[in-house]
Chain A
């Protein structure tokens, strides 16, 4: 039987988050904008713009949801 704790529970919170979008993958479904309009904006040219590359810790939950819900798995969070 394999039992292990979810590792994210152990990772350090409160470090600086950086939003990284792989623009080769992004196809502007705008899901991230729906979840976190403070960070993501799809403009009239249909391209995604990252409004805040270093969002505050209070945005972490929304950012993580954006990562999970991106249909192209194009968003990642880098802890600097």
Chain B
């Protein structure tokens, strides 16, 4: 074998795929490329410790990047095209050099990019938080001590940014288009509890209103700088810094025309195989989950690790002529906001039954279970990590909603 396994994306999924390939016996070349020129890093701190200034960037280098795995790391090199017929990936490096890379196996882990507000490109003071450069640019603006920060979108990233800004003592307005934050994910009641956490921590929370446009001024050099946000409810909030947290779009542009099935991600089978010798992992992979009876594309930290490992094993199994293992872990993530830790396991929907089975939402310390057709489908905890982890096991094995509620009462 002469051609390498090529891994596109040197973040959590890609690096775990590389590590697993090595751990499980692949001794041929592995090329890892990423348009981001920083050493592989961990993203959760970008909206937490990096923004608040508690940590410096060197603290978030992935431990895997320090392991001696014999990887051919090509950082600052972006994939621009894929030919399944030729088994090649087209690349361009930050200095503009184009190249063609032949592969024996391909791991697609090119992730997702933060969605931006239309018309905000090039406007100073407007930020997204997805990459280390994004986070450091925002941090620099926060260190200048702006009078107010407007955060657009009260999802988990927006909520964590609001929290980091409050930690710095900054005034924050958090704008959410829906009447309740996180309703689509947690349901109206639990979403409202999360909204109250912001209010308790001094955030000016504006619900049910969108952004009409950004107010900007023209600087002496002709560039634009944001000075406020005009909302669809007719009010305008003055702000020197605006952070946009309105979700992500998957980085599938380089795969257009490749013949891969692209529909809100790279569509894989239930073993993460997208085409012979081609697997996907992390935010970009969309696969059928038998556990939840739907196609899933999961943007969680632990899912990226599990997906990277599973994708690597899938390639190795294919090579040995063995069937692949089914990939269907229980999604799980955490979000740190102020002094609260929110953890969610499973895949609840706003229409699910739910019950607070432990603690109290008034004290922001509780566990809520979600049920659908009598079956446990989600576990939400606020400052109850032990309970969430223990109850997550019931999602893995499968449990009725009633049994889970009874079990929770014993914890």
Contacts and interface: CB of A to CB of B under 8 A. Distances in A.
A5 B393 contact: no
A29 B383 contact: no
A39 interface: no
A76 B219 CA distance: 51
B70 A3 contact: yes
B389 A33 contact: yes
B372 to A, nearest CB: 23
A6 B385 contact: no
A74 to B, nearest CB: 11
B374 interface: no
Contacts of A68: 16, 305
A30 B389 contact: yes
Given A34-B393, A69-B302, A2 B72 contact: yes
Given A2-B71, A3-B29, A71 B301 contact: yes
B71 A31 contact: no
A42 to B, nearest CB: 4
Nearest to B386: A42
A54 B27 CA distance: 33
B29 A31 contact: no
B389 A4 contact: no
A73 B390 CA distance: 21
B383 A2 contact: no
Given A34-B389, A42-B389, A71 B44 contact: yes
B22 interface: yes
Contacts of B176: none
A8 B390 CA distance: 31
B28 A3 contact: yes
Interface residues of A, number: 25
A45 B22 CA distance: 40
B70 A42 contact: no
B160 interface: no
B27 A1 contact: no
Chain B interface residue bracket vs A: 20 to 34
Given A3-B29, A6-B22, A71-B301, A27 B70 contact: no
Contact of B386 (A5, A44, A69): A44
A57 B341 CA distance: 33
B386 A43 contact: yes
A68 B385 CA distance: 18
Nearest to B72: A2
A2 B70 contact: yes
A73 B63 contact: yes
B334 A29 contact: yes
B27 A5 contact: yes
A27 B336 contact: yes
B229 interface: no
A4 B385 contact: no
B23 interface: yes
Interface in A29-65: 29-31, 33-34, 41-44, 46
Nearest to B343: A29
Contacts of B84: none
Contacts of B69: 4, 6
Interface in B371-398: 383, 385-386, 388-390, 392-393
Which has the most chain B C-beta neighbours within 10 Å: A8, A33, A46, A71? A71
Contacts of A44: 386
B263 interface: no
B68 interface: yes
B385 A29 contact: yes
Contacts of B28: 3
Interface in A1-19: 1-9
Interface string B32-54: 00000000001010000000000
Which has the most chain B C-beta neighbours within 10 Å: A3, A33, A34? A34
28 contacts: A2-B29, A2-B72, A5-B27, A5-B70, A6-B22, A6-B23, A6-B69, A6-B70, A7-B68, A8-B23, A27-B336, A28-B341, A29-B334, A29-B385, A30-B385, A30-B386, A31-B302, A31-B389, A34-B389, A34-B390, A34-B393, A41-B386, A46-B383, A68-B16, A71-B44, A71-B301, A73-B42, A73-B63
Interface of B: 4, 16, 22-23, 27-29, 42, 44, 63, 67-72, 301-302, 305, 334, 336, 341, 343, 383, 385-386, 388-390, 392-393
Interface of A: 1-9, 27-31, 33-34, 41-44, 46, 68-69, 71, 73
